Chain A
Amino acid sequence: MLLLLLGIIVLHVTVLVLLFVSTIVSQWLVNGGQTADLWQNCSSGTIFQCLTSSTNEWLQSVQAMMILSIIFSVLSLFLFFCQLFTLTKGGRFYITGIFQILAGLCVMSGAAIFTVRHTDWHQASENTSYGFAYILAWLAFPLALASGIIYVILRKRE
C-alpha cells in the first residue's frame, strides 16, 4: 500500500519536473550554435547573447499552455495531499485525476501548436532540429495522462 502511494507520488513529481524543465530550458529549436525556445533566442558563437523571442500571438499561446500545464499539475499534487486525508474510505481521487489530465492536455496542445506554427517566428533552415526540451514536453504528455487516469481509477484504502 505504501509502495503504491510512493510510486504514484514519484510519477507525479516526475511529470512536474519534466514540465518545469521543458518550459524553462532554452532548447526547443536547435540550429547550429543558436537555440530558440519559448522565452528567448540564444546564440553561442563568438559572442554569446540572448534576445527575447518575438511577440507573436501563437508563441504567446504556447507559453500560456505550458504555464497552465504547470499550474494544473501543481494544483493536482496539492489536491492529492488534501484528498488523501479528507476522502472517505473507498472514494476516488476524481478532482486530482481531472487536474492532472488537464495538465497533460495543455502540454499536448502547447507542443502541437509549437510544432505547427514555429515557422511564423523562427525562419527554419536546413539544419534546424528540435531540442531536448521539446522532446521532454512530448514525453510529459503521456506520463501526465497516465498519472491522471491512475488517480481516477485508484480507490482510497486503509
Chain B
Amino acid sequence: MSQGAGDSRSLLVLAGLLAVLGLAPTSAIHVYTPREVYGTVGSHVTLSCSFWSSEWISEDISITWHFQAEGSRDSISIFHYAKGQPYIDDVGTFKERMEWAGNPRRKDGSIVIHNLDYTDNGTFTCDVKNPPDIVGKSSQVTLYVLEKVPTRYGVVLGSIIGGALLLVLLVVALVYLVRYCWLRRQAVLQRRLSAMEKGKLQRSAKDASKRGRQVSTPRREGGVKRGAGI
C-alpha cells in the first residue's frame, strides 16, 4: 500500500512539473521606444525602436510602423520591413521624407523622418514580429513638432554649476603652481647667494692668511680658489 502511495506521489510531482512546463508562457517579444520625441519644424527626427526577442533573428522578421495623426482615429501603415527588404511610404504623407535607419540583426528598427511639419504631430507605433516569437506588445511614441524645442530641464543648471566649479578649480591650481615655481626659484637664488657668500669669506680668509705668510714664503702664490663664483 505504501509503495502505491509513493508511486502515486512521484507521478503527481511529474505531472505537476509537466503542467508547469506546458503551461509556461513562451517568452514574448518586447518592443521599446521612447515615450515622447520633440522635433523642430523643418528639421529631421529619429524615431528609435529597439526590440528583444528570445528567438534568433531570422529572415522572416517583420517590422511595421503605423502613424495615427493627432485628432484622427485612423492608424495608417507607413513602413514595413519583411524578408530583408524595407518598404518605405512612397505615396502617402511621408512620401520621400522617410528613411530606414534600422538594423534587425542589431535589434534596431528605427526610422528617420525629414523635413518635419505640423501635420506630423501624432502617435507612431512600432511593431516587430520575429516568427516563431510573435506574441508581444507594440510600443508607441508621440511626436511633438514645435517652433523651438525647449531645452531639457537641468541643462542650464548643470552647465552653470559645472562651469563655475571648473573655473574656480583652474584658478586655484594656477595660483598654487605659480606660487610653487616662485618659491622654488627663490630657493635656488638663496642657495646661489649663500654659496657666493661662503666663497667670498673663504677668499678673504685665504688673503688674510697669505698676507700673514708673505714674509716667510714669498713663493707660494697663485692657487687662489677660482671655483667660488659658480
Chain A positions 57-80 with a Cβ under 8 Å from a chain B Cβ: 57, 60-61, 63-65, 67-68, 71-72
Q: Are A67 and B168 in contact (CB under 8 A)?
A: no
Q: Of A57, A67, A102, which one neighbours B156 at CB under 8 angstroms?
A: A57
B153 surroundings in chain A (CB, below 8 A): 55, 60
Q: What residue in chain B is nearest A71 (Cβ atoms)?
A: B165
- Additional A-B contact list (11), CB under 8 Å, known A55-B151, A102-B168: A60-B154, A61-B156, A61-B160, A64-B156, A64-B161, A64-B164, A68-B160, A68-B161, A71-B161, A95-B172, A99-B168
Q: List the 10 closest A-B pairs by CB distance, nearest first.
A: A64-B160, A60-B156, A55-B153, A60-B157, A64-B157, A57-B156, A64-B161, A68-B164, A63-B157, A68-B161
Identify 5 residue pairs between A and B in the complex whose beta-carbon atoms are under 8 Å apart, listed by A's number.
Answer: A60-B153, A60-B156, A61-B157, A67-B157, A72-B168
Write out the residue numbers on chain A whose beta carbons fall within 8 Å of the beta carbon of B165.
68, 71
Residues on the B chain within 8 Å of A102, using CB: 168
B223 in the interface (beta carbon within 8 A): no
- Bound-state CA distance A55–B151 (Å) is 9
B-side interface residues, number (CB < 8 Å):
12
Q: A-contacting residues of B (Cβ < 8 Å)? A: 150-151, 153-154, 156-157, 160-161, 164-165, 168, 172
Q: How far is the CB of B91 from chain A (nearest CB, A)?
A: 40
B172 contacts across to A, CB distance below 8 A: 95
Q: Which residues of B have CB within 8 Å of A57?
A: 151, 156
Which of A64, A67, A106 has the largest count of B CB atoms less than 10 A from its CB? A64
**Chain A, residue nearest B159 (CB):** A64
Q: Which residue of B lies closest to A65 (CB)?
A: B160
Taking a contact as CB atoms under 8 Å apart, the answer to whether B154 and A67 are in contact is: no
User: Which A residues fall within an 8 A CB radius of B?
Assistant: 55, 57, 60-61, 63-65, 67-68, 71-72, 95, 99, 102, 106
Chain B residues with CB under 8 A of A63:
157
What is the distance, in angstroms, from A117's C-beta to the closest C-beta of chain B?
Answer: 13
Q: How far is the CA of A67 from the CA of B164 in the complex (A)?
A: 11
Closest-CB distance, A76 to chain B (whole angstroms) = 11
Min CB distance B180 to A, Å, is 15
Bound-complex Cα distance A29 to B172 (A): 37
> A61–B172 Cα gap in the complex (Å)?
24
Q: Which residue of B lies closest to A94 (CB)?
A: B175
- The residues of B that contact A60 with a CB separation of less than 8 Å are 153-154, 156-157, 160
Q: How far is the CA of A38 from the CA of B151 in the complex (A)?
A: 18
Which chain A residues lie closer than 8 Å to B157 at the CB level?
Answer: 60-61, 63-64, 67
Which A residues are in CB contact (< 8 Å) with B150? Answer: 55
Give bound CA distance, A30 to B153, whole Å: 24
Closest partner residue, chain B, to A75 (CB atom): B168
> Across the interface, which residues of B come within 8 angstroms of A99, CB to CB?
168
Q: Shortest beta-carbon distance, B176 to chain A, in Å?
A: 9
A68 proximity list for chain B (CB < 8 A): 160-161, 164-165
CA distance A85 to B219 in the complex (A): 63
In the bound assembly, the distance between CA atoms of A61 and B164 in angstroms comes to 12
